């Protein structure tokens, strides 16, 4: 199967610091790939390069169209949930208002927030805002969805709901790539985990195999930090 995303030998430097040092990454339709690593390992930078928000020094990214969901949503505060979702189809892609609204309502319904179509961002819970942001990213029908720390503001019940929604999106034929610190969420919902350290991929594979039986010292250190952070010895 042809990969939806192909990243080859990606390098990026900021100032004196090399952020990415030759990253290779693939993602195929139906996959939910989780990027894990300590803060500063390059997870979010990879997403930003794929989305075209950062320019690498060298390397190649092959992707058709990607939608990105930022960690803090970045919904337009003066627009309703529905208008946030219809904005790009109407004003960038020239879709008629009625058709854009029809598609937007379908996405919001699919993600379980159709009843909040008229709400402003400040009236939404964190989980609702996350789902509206996902609907907005999907409104232009990208084959690849990028998510930066999608569970950061969610309680456990909402995390499971989000995981189910993301798996349904992958099953519908999209590729998903997310940056995450949440090893429990990755174990339960991702199809593959890619561990980064110091700007390179050090380990990857099926999440339970990699996270329960890590082979690289950086993976073991990351998991120990997460256990410490959650008060687990």
Over range 51-63, report the average pLDDT.
Answer: 94
Claim to verify: residue 52 and residue 36 sit in the same structural domain? yes
pLDDT tens digits, one per residue of 201-225: 999 999 999 999 998 998 888 888 7
Is the pLDDT at 163 greater than 60? The verdict is: yes
Nearest to 159 by CA among 140, 122, 131, 138: 131
DSSP single-letter state for residue 121: G
What per-residue confidence (pLDDT) applies to 3? Answer: 86
CA distances from 119 to 48, 99, 138 (A): 29, 20, 19
What per-residue confidence (pLDDT) applies to 1? Answer: 55
Claim to verify: residue 42 and residue 151 sit in the same structural domain? yes
Claim to verify: residue 30 and residue 41 sit in the same structural domain? yes
CA distances from 55 to 11, 133, 147, 176, 201 (A): 10, 24, 19, 21, 19
pLDDT tens digits, one per residue of 96-155: 999 999 999 999 998 888 999 999 999 998 888 888 998 998 888 899 999 999 888 777
Claim to verify: residue 205 and residue 146 sit in the same structural domain? yes
Examine residue 165 and state whether it is found in any structural domain, yes or no.
no
Claim to verify: residue 45 and residue 150 sit in the same structural domain? yes
Claim to verify: residue 10 and residue 27 sit in the same structural domain? yes
% of the chain at pLDDT higher than 70? 95
Segments forming the whole domain that contains residue 190: 1-65+142-158+173-233
- The DSSP string of 197-222 is ETTEEEEEE-HHHHHHS--SHHHHHH
Q: Is residue 7 very low, low, confident or very high in pLDDT (cuts 50, 70, 90)?
A: very high
* Ramachandran bin of 207, using left for φ above 0, alpha for ψ from -120 to 50, beta for the remaining angles: alpha
SS3 129: helix
Is the pLDDT at 91 greater than 90? The verdict is: no
Examine residue 71 and state whether it is found in any structural domain, yes or no.
no
Claim to verify: residue 59 and residue 90 sit in the same structural domain? no
What per-residue confidence (pLDDT) applies to 170? Answer: 92
Number of domains in the chain: 2
What per-residue confidence (pLDDT) applies to 231? Answer: 60
Claim to verify: residue 61 and residue 90 sit in the same structural domain? no
- pTM for the whole thing? 0.88
What per-residue confidence (pLDDT) applies to 136? Answer: 92
Is the pLDDT at 230 greater than 70? The verdict is: no
Claim to verify: residue 132 and residue 146 sit in the same structural domain? no
Q: Is residue 29 very low, low, confident or very high in pLDDT (cuts 50, 70, 90)?
A: very high
Tokens of 134: 């996902």
Is the pLDDT at 157 greater than 80? The verdict is: no
Over range 54-83, report the average pLDDT.
Answer: 89
Examine residue 167 and state whether it is found in any structural domain, yes or no.
no
Is the pLDDT at 229 greater than 80? The verdict is: no
Examine residue 168 and state whether it is found in any structural domain, yes or no.
no
Claim to verify: residue 14 and residue 111 sit in the same structural domain? no
Find the CATH number of the domain harbouring 192.
3.40.50.300
């Amino acid at each position: 199967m042809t990969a939806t995303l192909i990243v080859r030998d990606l390098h990026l430097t900021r100032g004196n610091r090399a952020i990415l040092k030759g990253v290779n990454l693939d993602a195929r339709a139906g996959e939910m790939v989780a990027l894990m690593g300590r803060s500063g390992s390059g997870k979010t930078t990879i997403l930003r390069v794929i989305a075209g928000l950062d320019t690498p020094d060298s390397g190649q990214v092959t992707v058709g169209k990607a939608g990105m969901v930022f960690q803090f949503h970045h919904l337009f505060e003066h627009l309703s949930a529905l208008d946030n979702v219809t904005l790009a189809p109407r004003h960038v892609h020239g879709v008629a208002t009625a058709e854009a609204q029809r598609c937007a309502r379908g996405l919001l319904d699919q993600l379980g927030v159709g009843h909040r179509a008229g709400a402003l961002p400040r009236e939404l819970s964190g989980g609702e805002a996350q789902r509206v942001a996902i609907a907005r990213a999907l409104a232009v029908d990208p084959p690849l969805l990028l998510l930066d720390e999608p569970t950061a503001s969610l309680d456990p019940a909402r995390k499971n709901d989000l995981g189910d929604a993301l798996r349904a999106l992958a099953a519908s034929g999209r590729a998903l790539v997310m940056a995450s610190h949440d090893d429990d969420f990755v174990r339960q919902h991702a199809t593959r985990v890619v561990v980064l350290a110091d700007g390179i991929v050090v380990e990857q594979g099926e999440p339970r195999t990699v996270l329960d039986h890590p082979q690289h010292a950086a993976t073991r250190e990351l998991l120990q930090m997460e256990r410490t952070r959650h008060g687990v010895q």
